[in-house]
Amino acid sequence: MSGEILKALDVNAEHSGDPIARAYFSQAAAAIRKAEWAAEHWRSSASIEREANHQLRKDNRQLQAAVDRLIAESANDTSHAD
């Protein structure tokens, strides 16, 4: 949808006889392009953040399992020392 709008704005900016209208159409197209770029940037940033959070949860589970094993081994060593 924005592609059609951008094309229309570009055509109007290029062919309008009114310099103020040309500037308006040109600025409107630039604003839409910036908004689309920002939206894509945030989508890719969110994707990277989701992947990092997934990896962090995985690492935390592995760390918790290692801690649980150490606690169990320590408890076994203590019970054999008596």
Which runs of consecutive H residues, i.e. helices, occur in the chain? 2-15, 19-81
Q: Does residue 4 surpass a pLDDT of 70?
A: yes
Gyration radius from the chain CA atoms: 29
Q: Model confidence at 2, in pLDDT bands (50, 70, 90)?
A: confident
pLDDT tens per residue across span 56-82: 999 999 999 999 999 999 988 877 665
| Structure confidence at residue 29 (pLDDT) | 95
What is the DSSP-derived secondary structure letter of residue 18?
Answer: -
The count of other CB atoms within 10 Å of the CB of residue 32 is 15
pLDDT tens per residue across span 22-43: 999 999 999 999 999 999 999 9
Question: Region 40-63: what's the mean pLDDT?
Answer: 95
What is the DSSP-derived secondary structure letter of residue 17?
Answer: S
Report angle CA 59, 64, 49 to the nearest 5 degrees: 30
